[in-house]
Chains A and B, each alone.
Chain A
Amino acid sequence: MQQFNILWLIPFFPLMGAFVNGAFGKKLQRRFGEKIINVIGVTLPWLSFVIAVFAFIKLRGLSEGEFLSDHLWTWVAVGQFHVDLAFSMDSLSAMMALIVTFVGSLIHVYSIGYMHDDESYWRFFSYLNLFMFSMLTLILADNLLLMFVGWEGVGLCSYLLIGFWYKDLNNAKAGMKAFVVNRIGDFGFLIGFFILFWGLGGSWTANGYHVAGTFSLNFHELPELVAGIGDKLLWGVPIATLVALFFFVGATGKSAQIPLYIWLPDAMAGPTPVSALIHAATMVTAGVYMIARMNFLYILSPAAMTVVAMVGAATALFAATIGCFQNDIKKVLAYSTVSQLGYMFIGVGVGAFWAGSYHLLTHAFFKACLFLGAGSVIMAMHHEQDMRKMGGLGKVMPITRWTYWVACVAISGFPIAAGFFSKDEILWKAFDSGVLLVPGWLPWLLGFVAAGLTSFYMFRSYFLTFTGDLPEAHGHEPEEQRPVVTGVLVMLAAGAVILSFVGLPKLWMGAEPALEQFLAPVFEAAEHLPSAGHGHGTEWIMMLLSVGIAFVGMGSAWWLYRGRSNPLPERLKQRFAGIHRVVYNKYYVDEAYHATAVRGFMGTSRLCSWFDVKVIDGLVNGAGTFTRAFAWIDGAIDKYLVDGLVNLIARMVRFCGARVRRIQTGRLPAYLAGLVTGAVVLVVLTRFLMDLYS
């Protein structure tokens, strides 16, 4: 462990940007224009990138298995349990941090062009920086708890950015959907958390509860601790399996896998740079990252690995079929993202953690490139996203076209770009896998078919958008975008090709790929997983098959959609109208969820509401009425009894006074007469009394 005291700056810079733009952005923008927002919001992520590069260089210089660490302060300290607020960087988080800071910063640059003239320009950059902060916290977290902070933070930013144009109800709804679905996943994650916590805490023995000696959620101490609880059971299931599965529930939410993938296509309501950064390149890969980070846990449980791999494979194929029939260019890319994330889960599910991570890396580049290319097209078409209304844009937008083409080639898996190497490695590792409870060819087959479909729908979108004739102009001719946009596209496309070199397969080079060697220390635990033992011959055949199906997919797209002139797609659509309708409507999954989960939930809510209104409110109101009645009685006693007594005395005094006042006539003779009478009476009385007593 090597202390590296400026690691905290990597997440801190974007946080500062988010704060400054969030707190003062509105005034700054009004006063100085968009430039000042750029200076804050775009420069700080680049500074993060620079520090990430420094850290990476420093990490390369360390011996194998060493990592950088930056301990800020102790966050929680209870008994033996303590959690630090600390960042650490090993090779996996270094890779992720470089992706996030580099692609993220590029997308910040792109946003200068895309968000130009938006009234909430400052708010956009503030959110985007906040997202960078959360994501970097997630990645660089030293322990599971801090990672969860980032995990929730990215969910929040995703919600904020999907609903960025919140004045449109649909956008707000999409944001809410994303948030709620993510919360369901996070709930699973939390349960996994608690079970792990319980498992690590100690155990019941014949002599009572035995507290564990060390109790930590630190990633560098966890492997040993987790290995020690291998035989512990909860509800008859090994804890490792249970925790791994619940963590995976969290991953399906964050990374849009079956059954929680439904939020991602709707998330395309957000601005396109957001779709590129959050919903393609970085945030949605958090689930994959988490599983790769927890690899030592997953390899303890073949059952959990099987679930991960099969869910990934099923998602890859399922989303790919939907992607073939979408007309909205961003929806195609959204389903493509879901599908590619499925590949990553196949990778981490079969124990090829480095291959999953490699696909994550390449995907970040080519998918960001595709999304930003789509954004460029959308800007040129004046916010038209329907591919049926496009066409011929290749002539006027050459840079967008060719970068899009390169990214298509990369995602489809042609062996000249990075996508091929990562995807092929995953498929081969799946086929050759010996750890799953199902035969390795099953996830392979699903992934293989999905690869063909991927190639088909990506080139379909390419041909529909860029070939054929220009649509009739609506006032403005579509034209190529500003250099801030195209420059970013070129850099991402170049990245998608250049990254091939870190993953050239062992079969070709004779040595392990550079990235695999780099990541090896993190995935140490997964090094000796059994394989099915297929030979090099099989691997070559698999590779050729992959290239073959990519060509089949591209060829059919070329045949059906090139130049938008073949009438066959329309005829097929009419011929198989039923199938088309089902797939076009995404297998009615949203509707099914709506009919079951959402309506069930709403029904329960209504029931609770009824209970609240009728029973709880009734009780409260009953108590109120009782108090009121009691107060009324009390008031009556006060008013009639107590006040009555007081008034009675006053009245009596008044009554007597009224009688007595009669003698106070004010006339002097009357008084004198009284005086004299009194005197006479006294004299007479005295006379009699004297007689009486003498």
Chain B
Amino acid sequence: MIQVGLGHFLVVGTLLFTLGVVCVITRRNAVAILIGIELMLNASGLNLIAFSHYNNKAVEGSVFVLFVIVLAAAEAAVAMALILAIKRRLRTIDVDQTSSLRG
């Protein structure tokens, strides 16, 4: 039986983060980008929990993650509101077409 250690958590976290980055960069749907951001946040949360667990079972990491989750919820609410506003105004949420801020 394979002992599950810190390294496994880190690999999963890295994979999760990479997936999030790729999702953010490649997807054109604003909601999908938001999802990618959530993935990255959770990847970093997983890392924090893992480091915290393997560091004498400290609780600071878990507290951080609780904050991150709350913030992520707030962030998602704000971002969704923005996306809805963009949708209403421009009739699209394709980020390639919402380029009116081009210099």
Q: A: which residues have CB within 8 A of B?
A: 660-669, 672-673, 676
| A664 nearest in chain B by CB position | B103
Q: Are A676 and B21 in contact (CB under 8 A)?
A: yes
Is the CB–CB distance between B103 and A669 below 8 Å?
A: no
For B98, the chain A residues whose CB sits under 8 A away are 666, 668
Per the bound structure, the CA–CA distance linking A660 and B103 in Å amounts to 9
User: Which residues of A are found within 8 Å of B25, using beta-carbon distances?
Assistant: 669, 672-673, 676
Task: Please determine whether A664 and B102 come into contact, CB atoms closer than 8 angstroms.
Answer: yes
Q: How far is the CA of A673 from the CA of B23 in the complex (A)?
A: 11
Residue of B nearest to A680 (CB): B21
Q: A666-B103, A676-B25 are in contact. List 7 more A-B contacts (CB 8 A).
A: A666-B99, A666-B100, A667-B95, A669-B28, A672-B24, A673-B25, A676-B21
Q: Which of A665, A666, A673, A676 has the most CB of B within 10 A?
A: A666
Task: Return A321 CB to nearest CB of chain B, in Å.
Answer: 111
Closest to A667 in B: B99
A661 touching B95 in the complex, CB below 8 Å, given contacts A668-B33, A669-B25, A676-B21: no
Check A666 against B28 for contact (C-beta < 8 Å): no
Least CB distance from A51 to B in Å reads 101
Q: Does B70 contact A (CB under 8 A)?
A: no
Please tell me if the beta carbons of A667 and B96 are within 8 angstroms of each other in the complex.
yes
Contact flag A669-B95 (CB < 8 Å), given A676-B21, A676-B25: yes
CA of A667 to CA of B21, assembled, Å: 17
Interface centre among A662, A667, A668 (most CB of B within 10 A): A668
Q: Which residues of B63-103 are within 8 A (CB) of A?
A: 95-96, 98-103
Q: Which residue of B lies closest to A679 (CB)?
A: B21
Q: Whole-angstrom distance from the CB of A680 to the nearest CB of chain B?
A: 10
The reply to whether B102 and A666 form a contact with Cβ atoms under 8 Å apart is yes
Least distance between B97 CB and chain A CB atoms (Å): 9
Determine the residue in chain A with the shortest Cβ distance to B33: A668
Bound-state Cα–Cα, A676 to B26, Å = 12
A664–B98 alpha-carbon span in the complex (Å): 13
**27 A-B pairs with C-beta separation under 8 A:** A660-B103, A661-B103, A662-B103, A663-B103, A664-B103, A665-B99, A665-B103, A666-B99, A666-B100, A666-B101, A666-B102, A666-B103, A667-B95, A667-B96, A667-B99, A667-B102, A668-B30, A668-B95, A668-B98, A669-B25, A669-B26, A669-B95, A672-B25, A672-B33, A673-B25, A676-B24, A676-B25
Q: A residues within 8 A CB of B101?
A: 664, 666
0/1 interface trace, chain B 44-64, chain A, CB 8 Å (1 if under): 000000000000000000000
Bound together, the chains give a CA A672 to CA B96 distance in angstroms of 12
Q: For the complex formed, measure the closest distance between the CB of B78 and the CB atoms of chain A, giving whole angstroms.
A: 16
Kindly provide the distance from the CB of A678 to the nearest chain B CB, expressed in whole angstroms: 13
Q: Which residue of B lies closest to A662 (CB)?
A: B103
Q: Which residue of A has the minimal Cβ distance to B30?
A: A668
Q: Which residue of B lies closest to A661 (CB)?
A: B103
List residues of chain A with CB within 8 A of the CB of B95.
Answer: 667-669
Residues of B within 8 A of A660 (CB): 103
CB distance from B19 to the nearest CB of A (A): 13
**Residues of B with C-beta under 8 A to A669:** 25-26, 28, 95-96
A residues less than 8 Å from B96 (CB atoms): 667, 669
The minimal Cβ–Cβ distance linking A466 to chain B, given in whole angstroms, is: 115
B21 pairs with A665, CB closer than 8 A = no
C-alpha gap A667/B26 in the complex (Å): 12
Give A668 Cβ to nearest chain B Cβ, in Å.
4
The complex places the Cα of A666 from the Cα of B26 at a distance, in Å, of 16
- Neighbour of B102 across the interface among A665, A672, A673, CB < 8 A: A665
CB-CB < 8 A to B103: which residues of A?
Answer: 660-666
Output the least CB separation between B27 and chain A (Å).
Answer: 8
What 1/0 flags go to B27-45 for Cβ under 8 Å of A?
0101001000000000000
CB-CB under 8 A from B26, the residues of chain A are: 669
B18 CB to nearest chain A CB (Å): 11
B-chain residues with CB within 8 Å of residue A672 when the two chains form the complex: 24-25, 33
Q: Which residues of A contact B99 (CB under 8 A)?
A: 665-667
Measured between beta carbons, the chain A residues less than 8 angstroms from B33 are 668, 672
Central interface residue in B21, B24, B96, B103, by most chain A CB within 10 Å = B103
A658: nearest chain-B partner, CB-CB: B103
Chain B residues near A662 (CB-CB < 8 A)? 103
8 A-B pairs with the lowest CB-CB distances in the bound complex, closest first? A664-B103, A666-B102, A666-B99, A661-B103, A668-B95, A666-B101, A667-B99, A665-B102
Q: How near does chain B come to A667, taking the closest CB pair, in angstroms?
A: 5
Nearest CB of chain B from residue A663's CB, rounded to whole Å: 8
Residues from chain B with Cβ under 8 Å of A661 in the complex? 103
A3 to B19, CA, bound (A): 130
Contacts of A664 in B (CB 8 A): 101-103
Cα distance A666–B100 when bound, in Å? 6
| Cβ contacts under 8 Å, A663 to chain B | 103
Residue of A nearest to B96 (CB): A667
Q: A353 CA to B103 CA in the complex, in Å?
A: 112
Instruction: Considering the complex, give the chain B residue whose CB is closest to the CB of A668.
Output: B95
Q: In the complex, A663 Cα to B102 Cα: how many Å?
A: 9
Contacts of B28 in A (CB 8 A): 669
Interchain CA distance A661-B102 in the complex, whole Å: 8
Instruction: Give complex CA distance A660, B21 in Å.
Output: 26
Residue of B nearest to A665 (CB): B102
- Give B67 Cβ to nearest chain A Cβ, in Å: 22
Minimal beta-carbon separation of B3 from chain A (angstroms): 29
Q: How far is it, in angstroms, between the C-alpha of A336 and the C-alpha of B100 when the chains are bound?
A: 110
Q: How far is the CB of B2 from chain A (nearest CB, A)?
A: 30
- B42 → chain A closest CB, angstroms: 18
**B91 → chain A, closest Cβ, in Å?**
17
- How far apart are B4's CB and chain A's nearest CB, in angstroms? 27
CB distance from B20 to the nearest CB of A (A): 11
Q: Which chain B residue lies CB-closest to A657?
A: B103
Measured between beta carbons, the chain A residues less than 8 angstroms from B100 are: 666
In the complex formed, the residue of A with least CB distance to B26 is A669
CA distance A669 to B99 in the complex (A): 10
Please indicate the chain B residues that have their CB under 8 angstroms from the CB of A676 in the complex.
21, 24-25
* A668 contact set on B, CB distance < 8 A: 30, 33, 95, 98
Minimum Cβ distance to chain B for residue A366 (Å): 112
Expressed in whole angstroms, the Cα–Cα distance for A669 and B29 within the complex equals: 10
The residue among B24, B26, B98 with the most chain A CB atoms within 10 A of its own CB is B24
B8 CB to nearest chain A CB (Å)? 22
CA distance in complex: A124, B45 (Å): 118
CB-defined contacts of A665 to chain B, threshold 8 Å: 99, 102-103
Q: With A and B bound together, what is the CA distance between A667 and B103 in angstroms? A: 11
Residues of A within 8 A of B102 (CB): 664-667
Most buried by A among B26, B98, B102: B102
Which residue of B has the minimal Cβ distance to A663? B103
Task: A482 to B71: give the CA distance in the assembly, Å.
Answer: 125
**A438, B95: Cα distance in complex, Å:** 131
Query: Bound complex: CA of A647 vs CA of B99, how far in Å?
Result: 32
A666 to B102 Cα, complex, angstroms = 4
User: Which A residues are CB-close (under 8 A) to B24?
Assistant: 672, 676
Bound Cα distance A666, B97 (Å): 9
Closest residue to B37 on the A side, CB-wise?
A672
